[in-house]
Structure 1
């Protein structure tokens, strides 16, 4: 669509009659490309603000309906939004990553001495919670596009608050599957994803820096929250600790109100045009065309294959340390090490990925899975606490590497147009192994009396998944070579159509000229 300066001026009273009677047809409008819930201008690679709820729009964006969207303000209210998104990232994943402390407390609270599968049953609580956060990602993407960031985030935080509060009133382990594993986790998912989408409304040039600060919230909470949880559990018990955590969710609810999008969402656009909201076509809501890309299919199924053992250390490491070393060591230090080095890894490898071209960034994920698998296998071999600290330092470093380059790889494989839903589908597929892995490890612990075999087996899937991902750069290069041959045929066809249109115009213009000469 032409910019404001190129739009034809409106016809006035002094214009010639034929100019008003025969307006020129509008040029064809190219379908805007979308990334991360945001709109992309035709023919450009620069993101405009993601779709969100209608809010205070900049002047340039509201001058004319056909004008190009304004540049993000690069600050202002955006810094408040950044802090709110940082709190969201920290609150959601700080609680999820500290589940090992809650897991030990649940075992002590619900242990009646008769249930021989208590570790297996209790592990399902944390596994369901983390799995549902990712499982809901494709659904959250759709709701964010339809209703905007603010409404989705606020409602999600309210649901998470209700789930966490209701978890503090249960008397057995089974209700926690729903209150904590489903209700609380779904609320976290709906609150989390809009916090990333809204950043594109306010930042463009500084978006990398802002994303780094926001994701650092997860590391900060992961470092500090385990110690706070241990103090709270020892002093007021598990139930009151969960009620204290509700304060974090209530602040998250208030933070959602700061997400004032600068671009109307789908509901506002449709309602403004027709006065009544209608859902967009199904193909626009769920875009399954990304699975037609072979390299993406390999990536989308290779990563889940590598994650069957990924969440096992976060859930069971605290209990393993208590079984092996008793109360003589501060097991929360291990989560501290994981959180610190994960934040460092995101900064280092995120920068390194900028210098690796194209789909070869996948090799960073291959290396990260190799080291994560190796470190998981080394956990049972550590008979001194210092060895476990070294293992967690390396594991956190490569965990940050794996996480920080997911979006750049998705961009390389499917392009800007489909990257948002490509990431959503991937996170949804990741939820399955992350949910199944820890309960299996708990079952092995119940049957064998030790976590050794569980940690050995947890290291195998990352090695297998990493081997699968190795072929992606080669497959992607072959796809690009095939696509380079297609534009040649397309250009030839386009030229033939242009020549045909020229001939048609010439044949229609001649009779008109003859009639005018006759008159």
Structure 2
């Protein structure tokens, strides 16, 4: 083992972003011009040996390769656009997008179906709305907080291992709740264990397309994000059928096993360097941490560094506004089955409304993401239009008297969700750049975790005090309107940053 390798839990991996996925027998070198270039041939270790022995312009030795890697590593970790220069923009990238779609389907089956999975069980236990809301929002808090550590996890373990670990954790968490004997048992396994798994997997599949696409990012984003709506469509219907045939316990055990299909999606998450149009030699990093404690500390340090990088008012508006939209929409989906049963509708009626909103969301996501690649219309205006639509029809749903009218309201509501969720990735890239996208996405996850842990108790308290879930849904409509108002100030934030930049440049010139 070289000084750049680490063993954790019996696994050997490299401490370099996207290189942890390399398996023996996949990489070697060939010479193009004067540079050693990676290609798929034999043992991965031969690549480092070969790149060290072959002279680059007659002067680069193995020691100089490592020396150059060490001298530039600090810059790479903070502001690198490695992985962005000359992305594949197709080819294997389409396979990655499909793998991300599969992972999003699985994640959102769980996210959108909490009320279908657990509402009857929790109501039979006479669990208060406050406790039920705590369970789901604690899961959201852990899930989003896990996303903050995504970049650090990938740098330590690689894309595929990070995805595989998170898939297995989610499967264990969901399966274990089949043996629940109290709401707190569900809270631990669903909120904590499954929360970590879904957080890492969902955020990983959401961000990976930006490494593989530039010109066709809209189409790739549409493929990936369609998994969110697909999970919302099939999840409620699938779970209600499973519960009809296998009851509460059996349906959860089947869902836990079903979730392991995510391993298939994880396996296609190759390091983007393998598929670049102009592949380059990848020098190994020289970190030497061999203990679990050192790995954990490195992950914490890298995650904190990511959050510190976010000082921009523009990035803050985009990240926090998107977080409020996300949490409002997910809480609405969770509270809807409780609210409809409270009004005398059945669980099947609630599942029908959820699936209908998911179908509308899917159509909107596919349309808006693809059109955004070619349309001259402002992504910001489209995003704000979707946000306003969701706010208005959240209120309308609460006062619709029949299932037909509620279904129509949920269909339009789902279309609005599809617009702003389909554009979330693209809005971040447009306003902060591709190089800072993962940092802003991590900040968005952090903001979302705070929104989750604070909104849960508030919504549960409002329901218990008012005696109706309608008031909780109206609170969610108000929070979506607040996100809409935040995006009105985005041009002012851009102008402020531009002035600061010009003042700083003038000051430097005078000095």
TM-score bin (small chain): 0.7 to 0.9
3-state SS in 2 of match to 1:260? coil
Q: Give yes or no for the alignment of 1:176 onto 2:186.
A: yes
- TM-score, structure 1 normalization: 0.74
Q: Which residue of 1 aligns with 2:357?
A: 338
Q: Which residue of 2 aligns with 1:96?
A: 111
Q: Give yes or no for the alignment of 1:222 onto 2:232.
A: yes
Q: Which residue of 1 aligns with 2:81?
A: 40
Of 312, 317, 320, 2:331 maps to: 312
**CA, structure 1 residues 206+130, in 2 after alignment: closer, same or farther (shift >3 Å)?**
same
Q: Give yes or no for the alignment of 1:110 onto 2:110.
A: no
Say if 2:395 and 2:474, in contact at 8 Å, map to a contact too: yes
Give the count of matched residue pairs.
Answer: 440
Give unmatched runs, 5+ long, in structure 2: 1-30, 36-55, 61-67, 275-280
Map 1:132-143 to 2 at 5 A. 132-143=142-153
**1:394: how far off?**
1.5
Structure-2 separation of matches of 1:287 and 1:162? 29
Q: Which residue of 2 aligns with 1:65?
A: none
Structure-2 separation of matches of 1:368 and 1:191? 26
**CA, structure 1 residues 458+38, in 2 after alignment: closer, same or farther (shift >3 Å)?**
same
3-state SS in 2 of match to 1:136? helix
**CA, structure 1 residues 429+174, in 2 after alignment: closer, same or farther (shift >3 Å)?**
same
Q: Spell out, residue by residue over 1:73-106, the C-alpha distance to the aligned partner (whole angstroms, 9 max, x if none).
A: 8325x55444332211100012211222124222
**CA, structure 1 residues 417+206, in 2 after alignment: closer, same or farther (shift >3 Å)?**
closer
Of 269, 277, 283, 1:259 maps to: 269
Structure-1 separation of matches of 2:212 and 2:481? 40
Moved more, 336-345 or 291-300: 291-300
Q: Spell out, residue by residue over 1:397-422, the C-alpha distance to the aligned partner (whole angstroms, 9 max, x if none).
A: 11112212222322333333322111
Q: Which residue of 2 aligns with 1:399?
A: 417
Q: Give yes or no for the alignment of 1:10 onto 2:58.
A: yes
Structure-2 separation of matches of 1:156 and 1:258? 15
Q: Spell out, residue by residue over 1:36-75, the C-alpha distance to the aligned partner (whole angstroms, 9 max, x if none).
A: x99626xxxx924xxxxxxxxxxxxxxxxxxxxx753832
Structure-1 separation of matches of 2:488 and 2:212? 37
Q: Which residue of 2 aligns with 1:235?
A: 245
Q: Which residue of 2 aligns with 1:129?
A: 139
Q: Give yes or no for the alignment of 1:86 onto 2:105.
A: no
**CA, structure 1 residues 438+393, in 2 after alignment: closer, same or farther (shift >3 Å)?**
farther
- TM-score, structure 2 normalization: 0.75
**CA, structure 1 residues 305+312, in 2 after alignment: closer, same or farther (shift >3 Å)?**
closer
Structure-2 separation of matches of 1:411 and 1:123? 33
Q: Which residue of 2 aligns with 1:425?
A: 443
Structure-1 separation of matches of 2:403 and 2:461? 25
Map 1:47-446 to 2 at 5 A. 47-48=84-85, 72=88, 74-76=90-92, 78-111=93-126, 118-199=128-209, 205-263=215-273, 273=286, 279=298, 282=301, 286-304=305-323, 309-327=328-346, 330-351=349-370, 353-354=372-373, 361-446=379-464
Structure-2 separation of matches of 1:167 and 1:280? 29
Structure-2 separation of matches of 1:404 and 1:473? 21
**CA, structure 1 residues 437+492, in 2 after alignment: closer, same or farther (shift >3 Å)?**
closer
Q: Spell out, residue by residue over 1:180-230, the C-alpha distance to the aligned partner (whole angstroms, 9 max, x if none).
A: 011111111222333345445655554432332222122222112211211
Cα RMSD of the aligned pairs, angstroms, is 3.7
Say if 1:32 and 1:39, in contact at 8 Å, map to a contact too: no
Say if 2:306 and 2:439, in contact at 8 Å, map to a contact too: yes
Q: Which has the larger radius of gyration?
A: 1
Structure-2 separation of matches of 1:328 and 1:139? 36
Structure-2 separation of matches of 1:445 and 1:280? 39
Say if 1:124 and 1:438, in contact at 8 Å, map to a contact too: yes
**1:155: how far off?**
1.0
Structure-2 separation of matches of 1:340 and 1:391? 13
**CA, structure 1 residues 157+97, in 2 after alignment: closer, same or farther (shift >3 Å)?**
same
Say if 1:159 and 1:183, in contact at 8 Å, map to a contact too: yes
Give unmatched runs, 5+ long, in structure 1: 13-25, 49-69, 112-116, 494-519
Structure-2 separation of matches of 1:343 and 1:329? 21
**CA, structure 1 residues 38+219, in 2 after alignment: closer, same or farther (shift >3 Å)?**
farther
3-state SS in 2 of match to 1:405? helix
Structure-1 separation of matches of 2:328 and 2:208? 32
Q: Spell out, residue by residue over 1:297-332, the C-alpha distance to the aligned partner (whole angstroms, 9 max, x if none).
A: 334444445666433321121222222243497321
Structure-2 separation of matches of 1:488 and 1:192? 43
